[in-house]
Each structure stands twice: as structure tokens, then as C-alpha cells.
Amino acid sequence: MEEEKTLLSEVASDTYDAADRPFDFLETGGETALICEPDPSTREKISNILKSLGYRITEPTSARDALKRMRFHVYDLVVLNENFDTGDADNNDVLNYLSSLSMSIRRQIFVALVSDRFRTMDNMAAFNRSVNIVINPESIDDIGPIIQRGTTDNTAFYHVFREILRKKGRI
């Protein structure tokens, strides 16, 4: 029986291509963000705000491109529109990949899901979708303070977990 080939398995089986690496050089402590937003004006708005917060940005053009970039780099922040490169918001390849990561890797990534189905900072929706925070597109102009509050809360919440990983040499 032949197993169905998914986008994730296709990307995982691709050969190494140095062009897929998102950054050639990163300073120690520099934070990185991946923006998966299909609307160019919204993507530009998010990108400008995150650049002002000090993030180095990658803007993939497709889910395949995003998965290739994540093969070589663990981003600090992923802003993902649930409709990015898919017609089914409940079956987003990038979100499925993030959900499949090991806990030690996944806890290093703060995932902000942009969705018009949920209210901004809806904790139950965030838990249900396995993301850190939900942002409604109507709140996109306030994404800077929303991300800052979310990452601050996340850092405080996982402080002990990260300290244990650090002591065990896992990060």
C-alpha cells in the first residue's frame, strides 16, 4: 500500500539546498520572525511593526517555502494566517507542521494565529488550535503590543521549563 505523500513529507525528503536557509548570518540574541500572510498590505504592515520591535523577518511565498525555511531555522516568532496557502483553514500545512514538533522545539517558538473566526486573545481558541495567541484581522494595527504582551506572558509561563532544558543541555 502506497502512503499518500503530503507537502510536509515532500519537503522533508527534499535534498539540501543552501538557498533554503533563511539567514546567512545572525547576531547572537537576534530574534527572528516568519510571517505567513497572504495579503500583501497586511504582510507589509506586520513586517514593519515586527522590524521596529527588532525581529529579523522572513516572508515565505507559499506553505512549501515556509516549511523549507523552518527546516533550517527555529524561529522565535511565527505569525500565521490560517488561510495562508490553503483553502481549508482547518488543514493548514504550516500549522500542522508546528503542531507536530517536539515539545522542546515547539516551546521555543511563539505562534500567533491570524484568524477572522476568533476574537483577539481568545485563550480557548488558541489552546484548541495549539498556538500561543490568536489575533483577529480587525486588531492587526495593534499587533505590536499584542505580540509583546503575549511573548512576555509566554516567557514568564515557560521560565522554569526553559531553565530545566538549559541545565540538561537541550537548548
Residue 3, pLDDT > 60, answer: no
Rounded to two decimals, what is the model's pTM? 0.84
* Residues forming a β-bridge with 134: 113
Of 1-5, 41-45, 116-120, the least confident? 1-5
pLDDT of 23 over the 50 cut: yes
Residues 6+ apart with CB under 8 A from 66: 34, 36, 60, 84, 85, 94
What is the per-residue pLDDT for 6?
A: 78
Interatomic CA distance for residues 43 and 37, integer angstroms:
5
**CB of 98 within 8 A of CB of 71?**
no
Model confidence at 28, in pLDDT bands (50, 70, 90)? low
pLDDT level of residue 162 (50, 70, 90 thresholds) = confident
Rounded distance between C-alpha atoms, residue 133 and residue 147, angstroms: 8
